[in-house]
Structure formats: C-alpha cells, structure tokens
Structure 1
Amino acid sequence: MTKTFWWLPILALAGTFGVAQPAFAGFNSAYTDINLDQCLVLNADDFGASWACPGYKGYPLQISEGDLRFVISYGFNIDDEPGRSQSLGPFNHLGAKLEWRLSNASGGWLPVATIVRYFTQNQETYEETNEVLVVTQLLEGQTCHIAYIDALANPNANELARQAADKAGKFDCVNDKVDIIGKFTAWDARD
C-alpha cells in the first residue's frame, strides 16, 4: 500500500516563502535628535567642522558643515558612499529631528532611508525662509539623496517624503537624478 503525503508540497512551499518574507512586511518610523552638543567633534577649523552623532540604534551618522551648508553622511563606509558630501545649493542648516524610515522586509526593523528638514536661504531676499525635506537612501555603496520636497509649498510634505523614502533601494546614486516631488518653490532645483 502506497502512502500519499499530500501535505509535502504545501510544507515545501510554506518553507520556501515563509523564510524569505515575514508575515507582514511594512514600514515604520523612528526619530533621533540632531543636537551637535551631543555629538563628538571630529575636526573643526575656520572653514567648518564635522561631528560623529548618535544614529538610530548605533547606525553611523556624521554631520559636517562648511561654507554655511550642512551635510549628513551615513553608513559603515562613509568615505565610499556617493552621497558623503551632498548638501543643498542654498546656505542652510538642519532641523532638530531626523526621521528614520524602517522596513521589516528582511525580518527585523532596519533603516532604509532618512528624512531631514533643511532650512534654506531664499536666494532673492537672503533670508532663511525656505524648508526642504531631504530623503536619503541608506544602502551600502548607494547611500545618497533621492528626493527633495518643499515643506512649505506642499501641505502633505511629510507624507510625500515617507512615500519617497519607502521606495529606497532602487535608486542609482551615480546615474539617477534626485526626484523633486510636488510643488517646489524653495529654489530653482529642476535645472
């Protein structure tokens, strides 16, 4: 008499797909402060400074300032990342919070992108009147800005930034152009 193990194909299929993806893959946010007084000064001179700051659960984060522009660099190999020196054209400073977009697609909540508010100078009045949300992809070897959202021109700017951040991982830092999302009046960034 031959036994039929009808459940074996189902078990094999469940094992194949069950290990590859968690039961619920999604996104979430965590926040850290941007407070340079709580950061370690790496170097400073008359032309600028750089700090090592606390990131999400120890994720490496470096903030630099030079020529009245701030740069945030991320990762374990910061010097090898394409976005290690990305800032915005106008003079700027950083907001007080850094939003980390987390994905559990790999089974644990890991950072895949960040969103930070830059306060930028109006190029006509020279007053700091503009606010831009900068979305940065966190992917080894491909960490860079992927989207800019004018926070004052779009009433749903935070949601637009989260939607852009949740697409992180597909952006090619060398060949793709930073996406300008929604209405943008902070400066002429579309050129």
Structure 2
Amino acid sequence: MNRIACYCLPLVVASGFASAAAQDISSAYTKLDVRRDCRRRPGKAVEDYGDWRCKGYAGMPMWLGAGDQRMYVSFGSKAKDEPAAGETLAPFNDFYKGVVEWRLADGRPFATIMRWNVKRAADMENREVRGRALVVTRLPPGAVCHVGYVDALANPNANELAREIADKHARDFACGKDRPIVLGTITPGEDFFSTKP
C-alpha cells in the first residue's frame, strides 16, 4: 500500500474568527486514490461496492464505503460506526480520487474538506458527472459527521467558504442535533445537499 502524500500550508487567521483567535489555524493536504492507497473489502450485494480503509493526515484512519452510485466517508478509530458513515449526498456521487484538505488547530486536525463529484440533474441522461460539492466533515474527538456544504462550481470562492464552515462550526457542531450549514450560491435546480438519497 502506497503512502498518501501530504503537504502543509499555514493560513493567517482573521481576527474575526473569535473561537480560533488563540489557536494557529492551518491546512494540510493529502492526495488520495482509494484504488491505490487503501485496502478494499468487496461488497456482498449487487449495489454494495464494498469499502476501503485508508490512512490520512498523521495516520488518521479513514473509511470509505460505496453503493447505489453514492459514497460515504468517515474518520477515526471507529469510523464505520460514526454518523458520517451513513451520510452522503442525494444525487449520485463519488470520491474515489482527489485531495483531502485537513483543517488543523495548533497542528491537530479538527475537520476535513473534500471535493466530491456529484451528478447534476442535467447529467442524468448520460454517464458524465459534472457537479462538484465541497463537503466539510467534523473529526474526533467526539462524533464524526457532515458539518456543511458548498456548491464548488457555483462559487468562485468555494474553498474559502468551506474553510469558514470548518473553522467557525466544526469543533462545536453537535452531530444529530445541529443542521448542516450551506454557504454560498447553489446551482439553480440542484439539490446536492440533502444527505438522504
């Protein structure tokens, strides 16, 4: 199994982020190709594509599951049992290959930002998947779940919006109680951000 490449980028924190004022907020990035970097367990049913276990930033366990043309991504030592393991986007989607942005506070990851491929309503008649959605996920300690979403094609500042969700909300987000946050413009006619297919 190949190691996932990682590179870090410090970020200057704006004074308006009160909850992070006393902490050094930065980003680390890992490239992930689940077919190359992860161990796969085959599925047992027609629409069960199996799952993958990977290692992310600083060895953080990652779990990815797939079925019915949708994916699920979770993190931590009990990743498969976390709420995130049951959360996906309503349209067909995937994240088999891409970059994971890890948001760090004083060097410790507290959230991830991942750019998922999402099938738009306009793509339903063909095999193309042209939509892109940024998914912000809360990391342990505590429950792991989706915190928020950004339509990456409709917002030129999508990465900044996703970091705002992560930095302001991820650490205090109550999984199962708080409603995920959607920032920015949404492509007309799309409903990317319902987490139930």
Normalised by the length of structure 1, the TM-score is 0.79
One-letter amino acid of the structure 2 residue matched with residue 177 of structure 1: R
CA-CA distance at 1:24 after TM superposition = 5.8
Asked whether the equivalents of residues 80 and 141 of structure 1 are also in contact (C-alpha less than 8 Å), the reply is no
Q: Which residue of 2 aligns with 1:4?
A: none
Alignment of 1:20-99 (within 5 A): 25-36=23-34, 37-45=36-44, 46=46, 47-94=48-95, 95-99=97-101
One-letter amino acid of the structure 2 residue matched with residue 97 of structure 1: V
Q: Which residue of 2 aligns with 1:181?
A: 183
Q: How many residues align structurally?
A: 165
Gaps of 5+ in 2: 1-20
Gaps of 5+ in 1: 1-22
- Change over 3 Å in CA distance of 1:29–1:53 after alignment to 2: same
1:120 equivalent among 114, 118, 121 = 118
Normalised by the length of structure 2, the TM-score is 0.77
Q: Which residue of 2 aligns with 1:163?
A: 164
Q: Per-residue CA shift, 1:17-56, capped at 9, x if unaligned?
A: xxxxxx9622111111221122111333442110111211
Q: Give the share of equivalent positions with the same residue, in percent.
A: 40
CA-CA distance at 1:121 after TM superposition = 0.5
Asked whether the equivalents of residues 150 and 157 of structure 1 are also in contact (C-alpha less than 8 Å), the reply is yes
2: CA distance, partners of 1:52 / 1:174:
24
Q: Secondary structure at the match of 1:166?
A: helix
Asked whether the equivalents of residues 81 and 141 of structure 1 are also in contact (C-alpha less than 8 Å), the reply is no
1: CA distance, partners of 2:121 / 2:144:
28
Bigger drift between 143-152 and 73-82 goes to 73-82
Larger Rg: 1
Asked whether the equivalents of residues 81 and 140 of structure 1 are also in contact (C-alpha less than 8 Å), the reply is no
